[in-house]
A and B are shown apart, each in its own frame.
Chain A
Amino acid sequence: MEAFDAHTEPDLSSVLAWAEFQRAALAEAQSEILKSLRYGHTPSPWFARAFRGQTWEEVEAHFQAQRRRLDLLTMFELLAMTEAILRLDLQDRVHTRRKDSLSRRFRELHKVRPRGIRLKEHLLQLMEEEGVVTGKALNDFRRLLRLRHWLAHGRHWNPKLGRSYTPGDVYDISRRFLEAAGLTRS
């Protein structure tokens, strides 16, 4: 897959796998630098230059900030991937002319709005009206959209999320929503 190719098979697990790899890489880097402090030697040249003069606490704080940023990016990627799954499903229902009521409603919507179908106001609304996803699975995912909005728009205000989230929370909520909608592969 080239860097700017379309995602034809979006998959939440791949996001978690990517995030785990990044975390492991950060842990290795932090470990190398802190070991150099503990045992009094110089780390590899790139690290020696990038972290030159930093104390133990400053190195720890730097990596803590890196992990925090990784968590935010992971949550954003999970939510974007979930949206991609929903939109690919929408396209499929519109073009393959499935007979169920949600597909009919999506086709009607697509006729009126070939562009500009919104995730919350249109897709989730119709899925709820047709009884495809309701209750906790839908409500938990809807609440996540505030987080998605904040992440997508540069995090330049304090969001009212009602709770804090971890990447694991976002994965669980998104996956339960997709499972309820019959949109998971395994």
Chain B
Amino acid sequence: MGNSLSEFLRARKEQSSATTVDWNRKRDQWLEAVRGLYLRVENMLRADREAGVVEVRTREVPVTEQFVGTYDAPLLELRVGMDEVQFLPKGVTVVGAEGRVDLRGDRNTVTLLWEGGDRWTVVLGRVPELEAASLSEDSLRDALQKVMLPVL
């Protein structure tokens, strides 16, 4: 190839700089989107919350990702009777989406993907084909059913 080791490494560094993503900006936009998601979920649950059916709590958790490093992100917890589910922020470096939050319960975990703006998709299944729906009260209900233990 005729490149010395130094030439090779310099060319790689230049390429890397030219295509660098502003990870800090991506992280900040992502955190704003996560807060927006939680507000939206809380709005969906407002009446049930006021009726004492569901308790809602948020706290900060550390998230560590390739390229972004470690940062604090909000986690949302819902408690319905003996069931507890968590909206866990996974991060901004995900394939084919702008970010990901996992909805985790005692039975299973469902993925929520941020598509940008205020658009969120709920991934309800992957096998045999990817089954996804825009976030709505219906898709949130389906997701909660998937992650919570079935009643006796």
Contact = CB atoms under 8 A, between A and B. Distances in A.
Interface string B90-102: 1101111100100
Interface in B24-74: 26, 65-67
B152 interface: no
B96 A55 contact: no
A38 B97 contact: no
A52 interface: yes
B130 A55 contact: no
A55 B93 contact: yes
Contacts, number: 51
A122 B66 CA distance: 56
Q: How would you classify the secondary structure of chain A's contact residues: helix, strand, loop or mixed?
A: helix
* Interface size grouping (class) on chain A: 10 to 19
Interface string B107-121: 000010100000000
Nearest to B19: A39
Given A40-B26, A52-B123, A56-B65, A47 B95 contact: yes
Interface string A58-74: 01000000000000000
A43 B97 CA distance: 11
Given A38-B67, A39-B19, A53 B123 contact: yes
A180 to B, nearest CB: 43
20 contacts: A33-B95, A37-B67, A37-B93, A38-B21, A38-B66, A39-B19, A43-B96, A49-B130, A51-B96, A52-B113, A52-B123, A52-B130, A53-B100, A53-B113, A54-B94, A55-B93, A55-B94, A56-B65, A56-B66, A59-B95
